[in-house]
Every structure is written in C-alpha cells, then in structure tokens.
Structure 1
Amino acid sequence: MATSRTNSEAVVQVDLEATVRRSSRNVLTPTRFQYSPEIATAINKKRTATTTTTHNDKKRQNSRKDVENSAVECTSGGHAGLSSYELERLENIRQNQAFLSSINLFQATEELKQVTRPKPSKRRLIRSQTAIEKGVTVRKSLRLQSLTLPPKPGERQLYRLDSTEDRKIELDLKEYCSALKNMTKTENRVAKVLKKRLVTAAFHPCTSSLLMATGNTLGNVALWKLDSDWGNDGVLRFEPHALAVACIAFSRAHPTHLLSLSRDGSLRCMDVQKAVFDDVYDSEEQLRTFDFLSHDCTSLVVGHFNGKVAIVDRRTPGNSHESIHSLKYTHSLLCVSVHPLQKQYFAVAENKIVNIYDSRYLKKKKKSKTVSRLHGYSLSIHSAYFSPRTGNRVLTSCNDGYIRIYDTSAVTKKAPLLTSIKHKMQTASYKIKVSAVWDPKREDCFVVGSTPKPHSVKVFHESGKLLHSFVDRDNVTSELYVTALHPTRNALLGGNGSGQLHVFSD
C-alpha cells in the first residue's frame, strides 16, 4: 500500500534521541526527554526551513543507527570506544527508562484486564427482548459478531422508571455530589507542563497513580505523573509534531499506547513504556480528530479538517488509510465520536448539524448517507460525544452558547432533544472554544469549563442541574477550557492557555 509521505519526512530531527523500536509500520524517531530552552530555540529555527532527503541525510541516519547499535551492545558490556556524545545519550536513555518503569504501566495493564465492558442498559435489554418476542431476526455485523443492531427507524419505544428506580437514581446522585465536593486542589497539583496554549488532554486509566497526557499548539506532547520525584517537575516533554496537537487519547486495549493527532497531517502512537513513536497515519491534508472504531483499538476513524473521514487499520503495514469517504453535509469537520458499544456508528459535528453514520455503509465516490440527524443549531458545532457507557445520549457544544443533550437510545432519522443549557462557549480570545465532555464513569453527568470570573469547572447533570463547581481563586487565574475526568478515580484535570494543568482529586 502506498504511503502519503516518506519515512524521512516524518522524522523530527532533535538533539537527543531514545531507543528506536523497529516495527512493520513506519517508526517516528522519539524526541528528547529533558526540556531545554536552548534546544527548543534551535529546534524552532529548524522548523522554519524546508527539509529534503539528501545523500547526507542518509549518511546521518546510518550514523544514528550505528550509535543505536553501539548503545545496545554497551548495555551488556563496557563503554570503551564511545564518544562523549554517545555516553551522554546512554545516560539520558537510562534515566528516561528508569522513570518510565516507575510509572508501573504494566501494573495498569493488569488492572484494566479486570475491568469488564459496560453492561447493556435496561432500555437496550428490553428492546432486544421485544425483538425476540416478535420473532424478529437480528442481523449481526461480520466485523462485530458480539454486538446487536439497534431497532430500525420508527421502532423507538419509551420506558418509564418506577418510583423505586427514581429513588435509587436520586441517592446515587447524592453520593456522586459528595464525591465531587471531596475533590480538592493543593500546591503540588498544578504544573506548567508545556509552553503555549494547551489544546487537548487525557488521563491514563490506571488507578495506582494519576498519569496525564496533553498537547499544545506547537505540536508538543507532555506526560505528567502527579507526585512524581523525577526531575524538577515530574514532566516528560516530546516534540512529535510540527503543528498543534488537536486530539490525544490512551488506548484502553493497550494502556502503554498514547495516540496523538496533529493538524500537520500526522497521527502518532507512542509506546510510553519504551519511549518510541510509531507513524500510524500521514495525510497531506490537515487532521482534526480521531476515535477508536473497534474494541481492540486497532481500527480508527480519522476526521480530516476538510470534512472527509479516513478508516485506518493499525494492523496494515504502512501509514496510509484503508479507505477515505466524503460525508453528506460537511465542508469542515471538528469532532468525531464512536458509539461505545455498537462501534459501527459514529457521530460527526458537521458545520451546523450533527450526523450519525454507519461505517459499514460509507461511500467512496459519493457522499455517504446519514443514519440519524441532530437538529436545532444556528451556528457551528465544535464537539459531539456519545455517552461513555451505553451511547444512549449525545452531548454537543455549539458556538450559539448552548450545550445540548439528545436521546440516541434508538436510531431514528431525527434524534429528540432532551436538554438545552445556556453556557458561554468562547473564551476571552474568541479563538478558543469550550467543549463539554462526559464523565467516563457515568452516563448522565458531564463537565465543562466556565469562562466568567471566578474561573471554574462545572459539573452538570443531563437534566441541566448544576451539581458542583470546582473553584480555586488563588491559583486559577485563567479559563480552564481543556477538561477531562478520570475513567475510574475521583480526579479532574483542567488546562489553560499558558500550558498549565490543574488537578482536583480526593
């Protein structure tokens, strides 16, 4: 399969390198681990020049390979014959690997193996039972044999909760609000992880420690482990991209994998344990977003800024896509979200509308048809997310100043609107958009940054009720517009325009 870029063009030239792992896909040479203003200035100057593959470049690459080979040899023997540069590089690699080992991601992998997939909701079970009673033959996807399809349009049913279930929900919310109130911030829970504005951030799903990843407008990626004694601030910094990191996520199937997508057209996967970047996908067009299209996280749907979506399979050699498709209504795409259970469905924020598509019926030459549409917008939508446990809701954020929640428990041509909440979705600069995101531990609560002073992060119930506000008048002096909640622990992160991450936890 032809690749859209050569491997030499994808490599970021840096001063200090880590061990490079060879794989069937193109590999991106990892950048330095220790941040230095002098090195950063030199790298920024290099970015302004156009790089081409020359005979000298190949010589330098061969020389780099020789250094790597000598580094491997010296791990089991002496250091005789190595230059001062090679000795310094070996020491950096040793320090970096010691820190990464301290993160205990292998332990996190074992923890996640104990976590089962979300159980189907009662609505879904009732719907399935109804189909069985009527004798309806349930079709199964060839790719996802374990999943059942939702009812056809027009078969949507309404289910009412009895008083006992209502009471349980009320008590559950009280416990949830109590847990939110116990989440506080101390001096050691704030760090300047990167220079310039943060764009995206995510928690690692492990429970033994709080490990976070974030990306900024310069294409930098940072890993921060809370309460770490490594270095001065416990932060590892990388430069795998040339432009802003628009989307970042840890793989739940492979917890040591961190995927980052940039507007420079590159999608990378970092092996956090080994400090290696793989070149997953490259495009000549700007990329905007991605999500995992399979439970094992090997298949992805990647959103192009020009409105196209690419299907990428990481098991296929090369760094190109399996297929690329034009959507029905969009000229620009800002967000894509895959259904948590029925992975063939994904929602897309397209201009002034949100559409749901079925990946099995995407067209290559013609514009693809929608499965469902979410109406009611007057301005562009910059985010749309399926609820994390069942996918029975879609949470959207729009420039018209409203957060909306739609009922997607059944796939209908027009998904009904459940809740509309007035909320300022722009910061003081008017270039940064605030997006509401679900709490991954729940089906009915979400978090969003609040721009009016005092700056805070608010937690809402799907009904529109404000449950809690996280406020730190002394330390939070700017909008925390990048937000995320931990998948299993009571922890929240907020990122701002100066490269700071703030953490509230119990």
Structure 2
Amino acid sequence: MSALGAAEAEGKAGSRRLPQVRTRNGVNEYKENQNLPYVSLTPIPGTVLEKNVKFHFAAFSLSKEKLSQFKCPKSILEKTSNDVLCKKTEIKTACRGILTPKMEDTCSRAESTLQKSSFDVHPESNKRQSKSTSDAVILSDDMESSQDGDSDEDASPVLDDFSELSPYERKRLKNISENANFFASLQLSESAARLREMIKKREPAEYKRKKPKKRENEIGCRRSMRLLKVDPFGVPLPADPIQPALEADENPLLPPGPLEMIPENQDDDNDDDNELFKGFIQTWAEMSKTSSKTTKKESSSLESYKASLSGMVISEDTVCKITRNSVFSVALHPSETRILVAAGSKSGQVGLWDLTQQPNEYGVYVFQPHSQQVSCLHFSPANSAHILSLSYDGTLRCGDFSRAIFEEVYRNESSAFSSFDFLTEDASTLVVGHWDGSISIVDRRTPGTSYETFTKCSMEKIRTVNTHPMHKQYFVTAGLRNVHIYDARRLTPKGNRPLISFTEHTKTLASAYFSPITGNRMVTTCADCNLRIFDTSCISSQIPLLTTIRHNTITGRWLTRFQAVWDPKQEDCVIVGSMAHPRRVLIFHETGKLLHSFDGECLASVCSINAMHPTRYILAGGNSSGKVHVFMNTKAAEFLV
C-alpha cells in the first residue's frame, strides 16, 4: 500500500472515533480524544455565501515517524525571524514620529502581530514539504494577518493558532497591519525629526529696550529752588546752621513753682498790647472782689426753659480760635456782667477769651502753664479770680488773675493726671484722679506744699472724677468699662473697694457726672452709643437705671471724645455734642426726649466739649481745631460792645 493510501485508511479509521461537535458563537469546537496520541484539527475551506464561511474538519493521527515531516527546517525559521525583525524595525520607525498615545498603541499592536506571525510560517512550510499526504494543512486566502498578543504564550508554535481566532479578529489584525504600513509610508518619523531640529535651532528673540540718548541742550524737569538750595538767580544759598539735638522728651515738664502769666499771642515789645493785657488782668481781679455770692440754685419749669433755649443764637462775633489745637476742656466764668470763656488744649495751653472786647483779637490771651493735654478746667467756687487747670503731665496749677501767676497746687511726675473736682465748698480740698487708677486727696491749706493722701482704687484707669453736690464725701469715677462710687472718708492707702459699682456698660466710658443741684441723677457717656441716666437719690447698693438715650458717640481718633454734662441751672437736662449734619449741639431731658438743637450757619464743626453758664443762657462749645463757638440770648448779646 502506498503512503497515500495508508494515510487515507488511517484517516478513515480515526474518523470513526471523532468526538462530538459543539458550536458556540459560530465557531466549531471539539474535545480532544484521549485515546489518540496526536490529533490535528485542520479547517477545510468550503463554499462562501454572503460572507459566511463553512468549514469541514477531519481528524487524523500521526506516528512519530510522520511527525518529523511537519518540523520546519532551521533555514526557514531563521529567514522568518529575520523578516519579523525587519518588519518590527519598520513599524518602530513609523511610530516614532507619531505623537499621539492612540497611534503609539496601534503601532505596538502591529509589532506584536508581526512577532506572532513567525509561528504561522511553520504550517505553510509543512504544507510544501508534505504535499503528498492527505492530511496536509490548507490555509484560506484571507489568512494574511497573524494573531495579536491575546493568544496563549504557552501554545506550541508547531500547531496552527489561527483556528482559535474569529473572523472579526482576523479582519482587525489585517486592518492593523495595513494601518502600520500606511503610517510607515507617510514617513512621519522623518518629518518629526526635522521639526525637532527646527525648534532647537530657533532661539527666542531678545527684546531690549533701547535707552534714549540724552541731548546735550535738552531742558530737564523743573525742580524746586529750595531743594536745590539756590536763589532765583541761581546763586547757591548759605548752608543752614546746625540745629541742636532735640531732647529725649518731646514735651518736657515745666519747672516747678509759680509761672508768670505771659500771653504767647502778644508782643512784649508792643506797649499797646501790654497795656491791654494789664487792663484785662485788672478788670478780672476787681470783678472777683465785687462779685456777689450766688443765690440758691433752682430749676425753672420745662416750658420756660425751652423758650429761653430757643432765643440763643450764634454769630460770627461769637466764634473765635483761642488755642493752637484740639480743645480738651471748657469752662465759663460765673460773672453776671461779662462773658469770659476758658479752654484747655491738647498742647498744654490755656486760652482766655473776653467776648466783651471787640474785635475778638483784642480779647483773646493764650498761656502755656502745662506741657501736655489740659483735660480739666474749673473756676474756683470760693474765688472767681482763680482758675484751676489739670494736665496729663502730672501737674495741677491755679491761675490767679490778681497776681498774674500760675501757682503750682499739686505735682506728681511719676503719674499722669486725668481729672479733678472740689471736695469742699471753699475749694481747699481736691480729689484728683490718675490714669493708672489711683486717687489723691489734696489739701491746699497746708503751708508750703500741699498735703497728699495717695491711694489705689479697684479700677484700671480713671477718666473723670466728680463729687456729689450735696454730700461732698461721695465722688464718682468713670474708668474703662465700670463706674464706681467711693466715700472719701473710708479711703485707705492699701486699697479700697467701691460703695457701688455699675456694670451696665459694655464698652469704654468717657465720663460720669452727678446732676449739679441735688445729685439725684447721674449721666454716663459710653462708647456703645448710649447715654445712661441713673437714679442716685439714695446712695445704696442698688441704683436703678432710669433712661437709656441712643446717641452716636463714635468720634474717631481725630476728634475729642464726647462728654455729656448737666446744665448747671437745670437739674434734669443734659448737653452733648453731635455727629449729625448739619453740625449741632443737643439738649436731652432725663426722660430721653430731645428738647433743643443748637445749630446755625456759623457752626460748621463738631463741638465735642461743651459747658453752660451757671446762671445765664450762654453755651460754649470747643472743637478739635481750637475754636470756641458761643450761643447766647439777645439779652447777653447786649453786653457786646
């Protein structure tokens, strides 16, 4: 029997033991027969109708002698591997110029396809070597592409791997190969290399701003002759004399002891000015001797009081600048025949303005008894020719018009003073508040220097001090956020606790004052934009709050803080400045009702500090530029010459 006939007979015998055929997803699958030593499932191309392929499979067995016929020669394997390497190199070169990640992925798949195709050459070579056998492997015409990297790596290269690929996968591999060849024909790698070389050779242009050339005859910018230190004709000015070094303290303390009343705004060499000042001093000294004692104060009816307020007016003749800078305190002389206003400034000046002298320049005199802010001014209740002034510099002085001097009442350089008041009607004993929360009781009757009782209170700071008008032993202090009432008879040097403490205030306080006639009321000015009025008719542990008046008290850093004060001739009325436009000064009743508003064309600034005449309807308000505005009724205006 020939070899061909033996193979056919053996194939027929094997066909009887063919396992059952199962179909899944259009692909025929077979179970391997365990009885056969070698089984090969080879697809046989059939008729293709409407792109559907039918396959017929035949099983056969191979002996060890026949198996050697299917082994691929070494020369063919080497040739195939060389072809694969060449194609792999071409694909790498083509993909090197592709910059997108999608194209790079396509090239990598094409490379893997060519690498797998090396195993598909073996069946074709076996086919050419075993053309005489009936079990030769026949490949279809559309198997031009190879399997991608999804195949099993452990599979033997001798077996045909295309039997496990679906038509869709074969078509996809074919498209990948065609796309790789197309990209290789475009020579993208060479174009990308040329572009890289062009980008590297290209250097950014440097734009340097050319400086304009200076012209020799060009006229430069105009400069101040003062800065050039030349006169209008171009002649250099002489060098400035060397100024002496300033002292460490910008506001040095004035020497202790009495200071002579020498006005700063008058010329000493001018005889006329000297004669006017001497007449001014003599007039006020004589008035203090002939002035009668004030009668008992009584409040008038509210209706008559409002009618008198409505008759008070302001004019250009009643506005004058009497200090160099901000006014911190204002006082009105209690005279019934003349109008004298005193104001303390931020720089330590005390200005006196006699409104009966016209024009205003003839009636204004400015003195320098202190070196820092004058926060408190009072005319003495026992002698109206004395005006007492207290300053932050730790000095308390008394201006005596009869002797034309400022004598020193009390001095403490280690502590700054904030406010003071009289503990007795004869003004012999004073209570002085310190910024550090201390209190001093000063007795002026001691010959030589004043006797001092220094004590520490339970307050961090003290802004104002005010005594009770009827019971002088009681005084009230306003601090940061608390108001205390003390009894001067119970003060001890070691420390003191207040009789009454007010806790209704939420922010810093500016002032606290008893009502001037009976002391049955107390008004406080707080930074929470509220004026509070308390019932102090009975000094006990519980003092009720009567009224809270909503009022804007935020003045800022450039204006003097508001301080609400009582009208000395009206027990139940409070005077306070205002931030409203047009500028005005307000008077409130203790019930919170607004009684009157002082305004006018001549009032164009905020009057933070105000004072009312004790017996006449005259109001004086000071602003932060050193000006004093005076409102008065028509009867008082008749005294102006």
* TM-score, with structure 1 as normaliser: 0.71
Structure 2 counterpart of 1:130 = none
Q: CA deviation at 1:90?
A: 8.4
Q: CA deviation at 1:108?
A: 4.6
Structure 2 counterpart of 1:32 = 262
Q: 1:101-116 counterparts in 2 under 5 A?
A: 101-103=282-284, 105-113=285-293, 115-116=294-295
| Identity value in percent | 39
Does residue 478 of structure 2 align to residue 315 of structure 1?
Answer: no
Q: Contact 1:97/1:273 (CA < 8 Å) preserved in 2?
A: no
**Residues in 2 aligned to 1:421 and 1:188: alpha-carbon distance in whole angstroms:** 34
**Residues in 1 aligned to 2:436 and 2:423: alpha-carbon distance in whole angstroms:** 20
Q: Contact 1:374/1:414 (CA < 8 Å) preserved in 2?
A: no
Structure 2 counterpart of 1:406 = 534
Structure 2 counterpart of 1:147 = none
Q: CA deviation at 1:94?
A: 4.5
Q: CA deviation at 1:209?
A: 1.1
What runs of 5+ residues in structure 2 fail to find an aligned partner? Answer: 1-251, 634-641
Structure 2 counterpart of 1:492 = 619
**Residues in 1 aligned to 2:438 and 2:511: alpha-carbon distance in whole angstroms:** 16
Q: Contact 1:283/1:320 (CA < 8 Å) preserved in 2?
A: no
Structure 1 counterpart of 2:607 = 480
What runs of 5+ residues in structure 1 fail to find an aligned partner? Answer: 1-8, 13-25, 40-84, 120-168
Q: CA deviation at 1:461?
A: 0.6
Question: After superposition, what is the alpha-carbon deviation per residue over 1:232-256, rounded to whole angstroms, capped at 9, x for unaligned?
Answer: 2410110010011111110011110
Structure 2 counterpart of 1:253 = 382
Structure 1 counterpart of 2:356 = 227
Does residue 278 of structure 2 align to residue 97 of structure 1?
Answer: yes
**Residues in 1 aligned to 2:273 and 2:617: alpha-carbon distance in whole angstroms:** 34
**Residues in 1 aligned to 2:313 and 2:556: alpha-carbon distance in whole angstroms:** 26
Structure 2 counterpart of 1:181 = 310
Secondary structure of 1:288's counterpart equals strand
Secondary structure of 2:301's counterpart equals helix
**Residues in 2 aligned to 1:178 and 1:463: alpha-carbon distance in whole angstroms:** 19
Q: Contact 2:315/2:602 (CA < 8 Å) preserved in 1?
A: no
Secondary structure of 2:553's counterpart equals coil
Secondary structure of 2:570's counterpart equals coil
Structure 2 counterpart of 1:280 = 409
User: Quick one: which amino acid aligns to residue 107 of structure 1?
Assistant: M
Q: CA deviation at 1:275?
A: 1.6
User: Quick one: which amino acid aligns to residue 106 of structure 1?
Assistant: E
User: Which of 323, 327, 334 pairs up with 1:205?
Assistant: 334
Cα 1:399–1:238 change in 2 (3 A) is same
User: Quick one: which amino acid aligns to residue 468 of structure 1?
Assistant: H
Q: Contact 2:559/2:608 (CA < 8 Å) preserved in 1?
A: no
Q: Contact 2:339/2:354 (CA < 8 Å) preserved in 1?
A: yes
Moved more, 314-323 or 261-270: 314-323
Q: CA deviation at 1:333?
A: 0.5
Cα 1:414–1:109 change in 2 (3 A) is farther
User: Which of 625, 632, 638 pairs up with 1:505?
Assistant: 632
Q: Contact 1:11/1:29 (CA < 8 Å) preserved in 2?
A: no
Q: Contact 2:320/2:360 (CA < 8 Å) preserved in 1?
A: no
**Residues in 2 aligned to 1:241 and 1:270: alpha-carbon distance in whole angstroms:** 12
Question: After superposition, what is the alpha-carbon deviation per residue over 1:465-506, rounded to whole angstroms, capped at 9, x for unaligned?
Answer: 10000012x322221111010000000011111110000001
Q: CA deviation at 1:92?
A: 6.2
**Residues in 1 aligned to 2:261 and 2:333: alpha-carbon distance in whole angstroms:** 21
Q: Contact 2:530/2:550 (CA < 8 Å) preserved in 1?
A: yes
Secondary structure of 2:522's counterpart equals strand
**Residues in 2 aligned to 1:408 and 1:490: alpha-carbon distance in whole angstroms:** 27
Structure 1 counterpart of 2:436 = 306
**Residues in 2 aligned to 1:224 and 1:424: alpha-carbon distance in whole angstroms:** 30
User: Which of 459, 465, 474 pairs up with 1:336?
Assistant: 465
Secondary structure of 2:260's counterpart equals coil
Secondary structure of 2:291's counterpart equals helix
Question: After superposition, what is the alpha-carbon deviation per residue over 1:274-307, rounded to whole angstroms, capped at 9, x for unaligned?
Answer: 3211100111211000000101011000001100
Q: CA deviation at 1:33?
A: 1.6
Secondary structure of 1:316's counterpart equals coil
User: Quick one: which amino acid aligns to residue 263 of structure 2?
Assistant: F
User: Quick one: which amino acid aligns to residue 431 of structure 2?
Assistant: V
Structure 2 counterpart of 1:427 = 555
Q: CA deviation at 1:117?
A: 4.6
Q: 1:75-90 counterparts in 2 under 5 A?
A: 88=269
Q: CA deviation at 1:433?
A: 1.2
Question: After superposition, what is the alpha-carbon deviation per residue over 1:57-93, rounded to whole angstroms, capped at 9, x for unaligned?
Answer: xxxxxxxxxxxxxxxxxxxxxxxxxxxx9xx498865
Q: Contact 2:438/2:456 (CA < 8 Å) preserved in 1?
A: yes
User: Quick one: which amino acid aligns to residue 614 of structure 2?
Assistant: P
How many residues matched?
381
Q: Contact 2:585/2:607 (CA < 8 Å) preserved in 1?
A: yes
**Residues in 2 aligned to 1:95 and 1:10: alpha-carbon distance in whole angstroms:** 30
Moved more, 348-357 or 287-296: 348-357
Secondary structure of 1:247's counterpart equals strand
Secondary structure of 1:177's counterpart equals helix
User: Which of 470, 486, 498 pairs up with 2:598?
Assistant: 470
Secondary structure of 2:281's counterpart equals helix
Q: CA deviation at 1:414?
A: 2.4
User: Which of 519, 532, 536 pairs up with 1:391?
Assistant: 519
**Residues in 2 aligned to 1:282 and 1:475: alpha-carbon distance in whole angstroms:** 40
Does residue 543 of structure 2 align to residue 381 of structure 1?
Answer: no
Q: 1:60-71 counterparts in 2 under 5 A?
A: none
Secondary structure of 2:336's counterpart equals coil
Question: After superposition, what is the alpha-carbon deviation per residue over 1:211-239, rounded to whole angstroms, capped at 9, x for unaligned?
Answer: 11001000000110113148824101100
**Residues in 1 aligned to 2:292 and 2:512: alpha-carbon distance in whole angstroms:** 26
Does residue 580 of structure 2 align to residue 350 of structure 1?
Answer: no
Secondary structure of 1:174's counterpart equals helix
Q: Contact 2:559/2:624 (CA < 8 Å) preserved in 1?
A: no
User: Quick one: which amino acid aligns to residue 257 of structure 1?
Assistant: H
Which structure has the bigger radius of gyration?
Answer: 2
Secondary structure of 1:364's counterpart equals coil
**Residues in 2 aligned to 1:185 and 1:90: alpha-carbon distance in whole angstroms:** 33
RMSD: 2.2
Secondary structure of 2:306's counterpart equals helix
Q: Contact 2:297/2:569 (CA < 8 Å) preserved in 1?
A: no
**Residues in 1 aligned to 2:271 and 2:451: alpha-carbon distance in whole angstroms:** 36
Secondary structure of 1:213's counterpart equals strand
**Residues in 1 aligned to 2:452 and 2:396: alpha-carbon distance in whole angstroms:** 15
Secondary structure of 2:581's counterpart equals coil
Secondary structure of 1:477's counterpart equals coil
Q: 1:125-140 counterparts in 2 under 5 A?
A: none
* TM-score, with structure 2 as normaliser: 0.57
Secondary structure of 1:100's counterpart equals helix
**Residues in 1 aligned to 2:503 and 2:549: alpha-carbon distance in whole angstroms:** 15
Q: CA deviation at 1:374?
A: 2.4
**Residues in 2 aligned to 1:110 and 1:383: alpha-carbon distance in whole angstroms:** 35
Q: CA deviation at 1:428?
A: 4.4
Q: CA deviation at 1:451?
A: 1.0
User: Quick one: which amino acid aligns to residue 33 of structure 1?
Assistant: P
Q: CA deviation at 1:321?
A: 4.3
Secondary structure of 1:98's counterpart equals helix
Cα 1:229–1:274 change in 2 (3 A) is farther
Cα 1:427–1:336 change in 2 (3 A) is same
